[in-house]
A = this chain, B = another copy of it.
Amino acid sequence: MVKTLKEIADFVQGELYGNGSIKIKGVAEIEKAQTGELTFLSNPKYKIFLERTKASAVIIDKKFETPKIPSIRHDNPYYAFCKTLEFFTRKKDYPEGVHPSAILGKNVKMGRRVHIGAYVVIQDKVSMGDRVTILSGSFVGENTVVGEDSFLYPGVTIRENCEIGKKVILHSGAVIGSDGFGYAKEDEIYHKIPQTGRVILEDYVEIGANTTIDRATLGETRIGKGTKIDNLVQIAHNVSIGENSVIAGQAGISGSTKIGKNVTIAGQVGIIGHIKVGDNVIAGAQSGITKSVAPYTVISGYPAREHKKAKKIEACISLLPFYVKKIRELEKKIKNLERKKPQG
C-alpha cells in the first residue's frame, strides 16, 4: 500500500509541512527508517535521531521545531502515529468456521462469522457474539459469554460463568476466572472457601499474556470498559476496576480493592486488599499502596506516599550519610561548647 504524505496528513488531521506529494510505503522507527518510510517523534529523548534519520517524512509534536524533512505536525503525534500504523497494517483474516478438532459442548450459541481454532474446547451453554475469534488451544468454560468481536489468542483459559464484553482482547496464557485465594483458618488448617462468583470484563478491555484474574468469592470481579492490563498482572477476587484505567506489567491488586477510572498503575506496583484507589490516580513503578488514595493523587514509593512528599523524602535519604556526619560534628561542637560554657 502506498499513500502520499498529504493523504496521510488529511487522514490523521495533522498539519502538513513540506512536500505532500511524496510517496509513503510504510512506517518505521526513527533510528531504522529508510527512504519511502514515515517515522514519528513524540518522546524528546529521541530528538537526536531526527537529524540523521533516513525516513522520508516524520509525524512530529507541534511543540517541536519544524524538521528539515517533510512533516505532519500534530497535537497528539503518538495517536496520529497509531492511526497511521493501523492504516498500513494488514490484519490477518481469520476465516469463518469451527476447526474440526475443536470440541463444543451442548447448547453453545454462536453469532455470525465466528472463528474457532484447532483444539479449542468450548463447554456447555457458552454464548459467543458475532465475529468472535478463539485461537488454538483456548478453553471457554460452561455458561460463559463472549461478546462480539472479542479475540482470544492461543492458549487462553476462561473458566465458567464469566462474562467477556465486546471487542475484548485476551493474550496467550491469560487465565480469567481462576479461584480467588480464600481460606478460613480453623485448628491450624486452611479450609478452602468456595469461590462461587465470576469475572466480568467489560467492552474494549485488553488483558496481557499470562495475566490472572480471579473470580469473586461471591458476586463479581469487574474490569471496567476500555481498561488495559499488561502481562503477568494479578487481579485478586472481588477487585473492581473502573473505565479507561491502565495497569502495567507484574502489578498486583489484592482482594476486594476498588480502583477508579482513568487510573494509571505502573509496573510491579502492589496494592493491598479492601481499599479504594480514586479516579485519575497515578501510581509510580514498584510502589506499595497500603491505604486508600484520594482521586487525582500522584503517589510513589514503598510504602506509597503522595509523590511530591516521596521525592522530598527520597532526596533526604540520598543525603543521609552526609546528615549523619553532620550530626556527629554538631555533637562534638556542642560538647566543646559545653566544656567551655560559663559556670552559671
Contact = CB atoms under 8 A, between A and B. Distances in A.
Interface of A: 27-29, 32, 43, 45, 76, 78-79, 81-83, 85-86, 89, 92, 101, 103, 117-119, 121, 136-137, 139, 141-142, 153-155, 157, 159-160, 169, 171-173, 175, 178-179, 181, 183-186, 188-194, 196, 206, 208-210, 212, 214, 217-219, 226, 228, 230-232, 234, 236, 238, 244, 246, 248-250, 252, 254, 262, 267-268, 270, 272, 274, 285-286, 288, 290, 302-303, 305, 309, 312-314, 316-321, 323-324, 326-327, 330-331, 333-334, 337-338, 340-342, 344
Contacts of A218: 27-29, 32, 85
28 contacts: A29-B219, A79-B191, A85-B196, A101-B103, A119-B121, A139-B155, A153-B159, A154-B157, A154-B159, A155-B175, A157-B172, A175-B209, A178-B208, A181-B228, A183-B246, A189-B226, A189-B244, A190-B246, A232-B232, A234-B249, A248-B254, A267-B272, A268-B268, A302-B302, A309-B321, A327-B330, A334-B337, A340-B341
Nearest to A274: B45
Given A219-B29, A323-B324, A249 B268 contact: no
Contacts of A344: 340
B267 A270 contact: yes
Contact of A313 (B210, B288, B320): B320
A167 B124 CA distance: 26
Copies in the complex: 3
Contacts of A86: 193-194
Contacts of A78: 184-185, 193
A135 to B, nearest CB: 8
A28 to B, nearest CB: 6
Contact of A85 (B28, B79, B194, B319): B194
A302 B285 CA distance: 10
Given A157-B209, A181-B208, 12 more contacts: A43-B274, A79-B186, A85-B217, A121-B136, A139-B154, A169-B179, A181-B248, A249-B254, A285-B288, A305-B318, A313-B320, A316-B321
Contacts of A288: 268, 285-286
A155 B186 CA distance: 31
Contacts of A236: 249
Contact of A175 (B173, B188, B337): B173
A331 B337 CA distance: 13
A268 B252 CA distance: 8
Nearest to A331: B330
A302 B330 contact: no
